[in-house]
Amino acid sequence: MREHLPIIIFLIPFFSAICMPMVGAKSVRWCRPIALLAVFAMCVPAVVNLVLVLTEGETRYAFGGWPISGSTSSAPLGIEWVNDRLASIMIVALSAIASLCLIYSGPVSPRSLGRQVVLYYTLILMLITSLTGIIFAGDLFNIFVFLELAALSGYALVGVAGDRALIASFRYLILGTLGATFYLLGVVFFYATTGTLNMADLAQQLADKPDLLTNKAVIGGTTFMFIGLGIKMALFPLHGWLPGAYTRAPDAISPMLAALMTKVSLYAWVRIMFWVLGAKAEFGQVHLLTLLGIFGAIAAVVGALLALSQHDVKRMFAYGGISHVGLILIGVSQGNETAFAGSMFYLINDAAMQAGLFFIAGVAIYHHPTRTIENLSSLRNGSPWIIATLIILAMSMIGIPPTGGFFGKWHIILGAIEAQNYWAVAAIIIATILTMAYFQRLFVRIFSEPEMPADAEKVETHFALRFSIAATSIVVIAMGICSDPIIRVFRDVAQSAGLGAN
Partner 1 sequence: MINPHDSVIVRTMSRMLIPLIQLFALYVLFFGQYGPGGGFVGGVMLGTSLILGILVYGRDGVPCRAARKLMHGDGVGLIIFAGVGGICLVMGGQFLNYSSLEIPLADDARRRYLGILMTQIGVAVDIAVTAISIVFSLSPINDTEDTEPSRD
Tell me which stretch binds partner 1 (CB under 8 A): 17-25, 145-153, 210-218, 422-430.
17-25
Which secondary structure element, helix H or strand E, spans residue 353, and what is its range? helix 337-367
Q: Which amino acid is at 40?
A: F
When asked if residue 162 is in the footprint of partner 1 (CB under 8 A), the reply is yes
Buried (b) or exposed (e) across 434-471, using 16+ Cβ within 10 A? bbbebbebbeebbeeeeeeeeeeeebebeeebbebbbb
When asked if residue 452 is in the footprint of partner 1 (CB under 8 A), the reply is no
481, 402 in Cβ contact below 8 A? yes
When asked if residue 37 is in the footprint of partner 1 (CB under 8 A), the reply is no
Which secondary structure element, helix H or strand E, spans residue 188, and what is its range? helix 164-194
- The helix/strand/coil state of 213 is helix
Which secondary structure element, helix H or strand E, spans residue 263, and what is its range? helix 262-272
When asked if residue 463 is in the footprint of partner 1 (CB under 8 A), the reply is no
Spell out where 184-255 has E strands.
none
- The helix/strand/coil state of 196 is coil
Residue from 27, 56, 64, 458 in contact with partner 1 (CB under 8 A): 64
To partner 1, the closest distance from the beta carbon of 402 in angstroms equals 42
When asked if residue 15 is in the footprint of partner 1 (CB under 8 A), the reply is yes
Residue from 12, 61, 148, 377 in contact with partner 1 (CB under 8 A): 61
Nearer to partner 1, 4 or 216 (CB): 4
What is the footprint of partner 1 within residues 174-233 (CB under 8 A)?
none
When asked if residue 458 is in the footprint of partner 1 (CB under 8 A), the reply is no
Tell me which stretch binds partner 1 (CB under 8 A): 18-26, 94-102, 249-257, 373-381.
18-26
When asked if residue 111 is in the footprint of partner 1 (CB under 8 A), the reply is no
Tell me which stretch binds partner 1 (CB under 8 A): 16-24, 175-183, 251-259, 350-358.
16-24
Residue from 37, 57, 63, 422 in contact with partner 1 (CB under 8 A): 63
Residue from 17, 101, 256, 304 in contact with partner 1 (CB under 8 A): 17
Buried (b) or exposed (e) across 249-272, using 16+ Cβ within 10 A? bbbbbbbbbbbbbbbbbbbbbbbb
To partner 1, the closest distance from the beta carbon of 429 in angstroms equals 46
When asked if residue 18 is in the footprint of partner 1 (CB under 8 A), the reply is yes
Please state whether the peptide bond connecting residue 210 to the residue before it is cis, i.e. omega within 30 degrees of 0.
Answer: no
| First vs last C-alpha separation in the chain | 38
Residues of the shown chain interacting with partner 1 in the complex, contacts defined by CB under 8 A: 4, 7-8, 11, 14-15, 17-22, 25, 61-65, 112, 114-116, 162-163
